[in-house]
Amino acid sequence: MKNVYGVLTLTLAFGLATGCQTAAEGNMVDLVLVNGKVWTGDAARPWAEAVSIRDGKIVGVGTAAELRKLSPSGAKLVELGGALVLPGFIDSHTHFLAGGFALKSIQLREAKSREDFVARIAAKARELGPGRWILNGDWDHQQFRPVELPRRDWVDAATPDNPVCVNRLDGHMILANSLALKLAGVTRDTPVPPGGEIEKDPGTGEPTGILKDTAMDLVYAMIPEPSFDEKLEAAEASIRHAAENGVTSVHEMADASSFEVFEELARLGRLTTRVHVYIPITEVATLARLKLKSPFGNSYLKLAGLKAFVDGSLGSATAYFFEPYADEPGTSGLLHGQMFPEGIMEKRILEADRAGLQLAIHAIGDRAVSLLLDMYEKAVAANGPRDRRWRVEHAQHLRPPDIARFGRLGLVAAVQPYHAIDDGRWAEGKIGAERVKTTYPFESLRRAGAVLAFGSDWTVAPLSPILGIYAAVTRRTLDGKNPGGWVPGERVSVEEAVRAYTANGAWVEFAESVKGTIQAGKAADLVVLDRDIFAIPPEDIVKTRVRLTILDGRIIYGKD
Ligand SMILES: [Zn+2]
C-alpha cells in the first residue's frame, strides 16, 4: 500500500486495534528460572542465578534462594542446570516479512558453481510448473569458480515458461531470464534508470540478465503481488524462525504494506516477535502530516521511522566510494535512486527531522557514509539539538575522520557482523589493502562513541545472533583463511557483542526502560543458551544452541 491514503488508513486502524493485546494473553504462567548464569546487562548487578517472572514482566533477579522465597504462588520452576540466560535478542536490521517468503523459495545461497546454480533453478521450474515466477534465491557468485556473474543464457533452456528473477544475497542485483526481461520490456535500448545498471554483453550489446539496484524495479514491477493470506503465512514462518534463533524483537526494513500484515497478526494474538517497522523515506510527507512522532505503536508493533538508501552494496560494486574499485577501475560505485533528483535526500531528511521522526539510512561506501554524515550534520544544525538516535545502516567502509563523526553526532552504527566474515573473503580484492583497514570498524566505532546495534540483515545473512556474535568476536572469515581474525583490531568483546544484540537494540527503539536488559519491571523477554559464551573459546561460540526463547513470560521456543 503505497499511496497516501493507504498509509493513513492502516496507521489509524493500528492505533485503535492494538492498544492492549499481547501474545501471551490467555495462557500466562508465571515462571521462576533457577540455577542459571544470568547476564543481566545491568551495571549494578551484571550476573545473577535466577529470574522470576509474573504477568509477563521480570519481578526479581537474584540468587536461587532469594527468588524461591519470593516466587509467585503457582509459578512454574524452570531448572536451568547452569545454562546461560541473556535478554531476548534484538535484531536491529532485518527484512522480516520478505524473509518468510525466502524460507519457502529456491535456495541458491549454497550454489557453489554454475552447474549447481542452473540445476537448482531447473528443479524449481519443474516443481512449480509453467507460468510461475522463480524468485528470491540469495545467490552468491563469489562462491563460483571461476568467480563470474550468472547470465540469462545459463538458465533460459531450463526455464522457457517460468520467468526467473533471483537476487544476489545482498539484494542489490538480480538475474532475470529472457522471459522475465521480455515481460518487463527490457531490451538493449531500455534507458537505464538513475541509480541503476543494466549489464550488457560487451560483444553483442544485449542485456546479460543482470540488473542492479533501481534497474531491478523494471522486473520487480512485473511480479504478481502475493495475496494477503500468503503474506500472513510468510510472516508466521519468519516469526517461528525468529523464536528458534532466540530473537524476540526485530527491526523490519520494509515497505509500508508489510505493516498491515503484522497488525493483523497482532489482532489475532499471533504476533510473537516484537516488530519495529521502518518504512521508506518517500512516505515522509504522510507521517509529517499525521504529526506522528516515532516510535508510534505498542510494545509488539511500532512504526519506528523512515528508511532510505544513499548507495548500493560492495558485492555488486554499487557501494559509493571516493576512489575507484580496485578490481573495476572504471567505477567508484553508484548513488541510489533515492538520491535523485539531486538534493531530494537532504530535503527529506530535514522534513523528517522537523516532524520528529527517526531515520535509518543505508550507506556502505566511504563516500556514501561521508555524504550521509554531512546531511545529518546539516539537519542538526538547522533544527537544533534533540534526542534523535539516528542510524547509519551498514556503515561498512569509513574514512578515519568519519569514524570520529559518529561519536560527535551520537549516531547508531546499525551494523551486521556476519557480513564482515562473509565479505572478508573477497573485500580486499575489491577495494585494496588500504581501505580494508577501516572496513567494518566495529570496535573503532564503539570507541568513538557510536552506539553499536547488531543485526543480521536477514535474508542477506542468516537470522542468527549466535552467528553474529561469533562473527563480531572472532572476525574469522567463512573461508577459514583468517583464524586470528580479519582486521583483528576491530574484534569486539563478547559482552559488547551481546549488548549490541540486546540493550543497544532497545535503546535504538527508545525502549531501554522496558526491555533489553534483565531487570525487575522489564518485559520478560529472555533467551537460554546451552553454553556460556562468555567462558568458552570464542571459536566455539558458533556451536551454541538456543534452548529456550521466552517472550513476555511465555515460552515460545524449546522445552523447559
Ligand atoms: Zn537490509
> Measured between alpha carbons, how far is residue 450 from residues 160, 318, 371, 402, 511 in Å?
51, 25, 17, 11, 18
Element (H, E) at 548: strand 546-551
Residue reference for cell 529472555: 526
Angle between helices 400-409 and 366-383 (to 10 degrees): 30
Give 170 Cα–ligand 1 centroid separation in angstroms. 8
Give 414 Cα–ligand 1 centroid separation in angstroms. 10
Give 233 Cα–ligand 1 centroid separation in angstroms. 21
Instruction: Please give the DSSP secondary-structure letter assigned to residue 227.
Output: P
Give 492 Cα–ligand 1 centroid separation in angstroms. 22
Asked if 533 contacts 502 with a C-beta cutoff of 8 angstroms, the reply is no
The two beta strands, 37-39 and 84-87, are parallel
Give 310 Cα–ligand 1 centroid separation in angstroms. 13
Give 460 Cα–ligand 1 centroid separation in angstroms. 7
Give 457 Cα–ligand 1 centroid separation in angstroms. 5
Give 370 Cα–ligand 1 centroid separation in angstroms. 19
Give 34 Cα–ligand 1 centroid separation in angstroms. 38
With left for phi above 0 and alpha for psi between -120 and 50, is residue 474 left, alpha or beta?
alpha
pTM confidence score: 0.87
Reference 357, options 388, 394, 316; nearest CA is 388
Give 74 Cα–ligand 1 centroid separation in angstroms. 44
Provide, for the chain, the percentages of residues in helix, strand and coil under a 3-state DSSP scheme, each rounded to the nearest 5: 35, 20, 40
Give 547 Cα–ligand 1 centroid separation in angstroms. 28
Give 8 Cα–ligand 1 centroid separation in angstroms. 25
The tens place of each residue's pLDDT in the chain, 560 residues long, gives: 333 333 332 333 333 333 333 443 434 569 999 999 999 999 999 999 999 999 999 999 999 888 877 776 788 999 999 999 999 999 999 999 999 999 989 999 999 999 999 999 999 999 999 999 999 999 999 999 899 999 999 999 999 999 999 999 888 899 999 999 999 999 999 999 988 999 999 999 999 999 999 999 999 999 999 999 999 999 999 999 999 999 999 999 998 888 999 999 999 999 999 999 999 999 999 999 999 888 999 999 999 999 999 999 998 899 999 999 999 999 999 999 999 999 999 999 999 999 999 999 999 999 999 999 999 999 999 999 999 999 999 999 999 999 999 999 999 999 999 999 999 999 999 999 999 999 999 999 999 999 999 999 998 899 999 999 999 999 999 999 999 999 999 999 999 999 999 999 999 999 999 999 999 999 999 999 999 999 999 999 999 999 999 999 999 999 76
For residues 182 and 222, give the distance between their C-alpha atoms in angstroms, rounded to a whole number. Answer: 10
Give 253 Cα–ligand 1 centroid separation in angstroms. 7
Give 46 Cα–ligand 1 centroid separation in angstroms. 32
Give 439 Cα–ligand 1 centroid separation in angstroms. 18
Give 363 Cα–ligand 1 centroid separation in angstroms. 11
Q: What is the 3-state secondary structure (H, E, C) of 411-445?
A: CEEEECHHHHHHHCCCHHHHHHHHHHCCECCHHHH
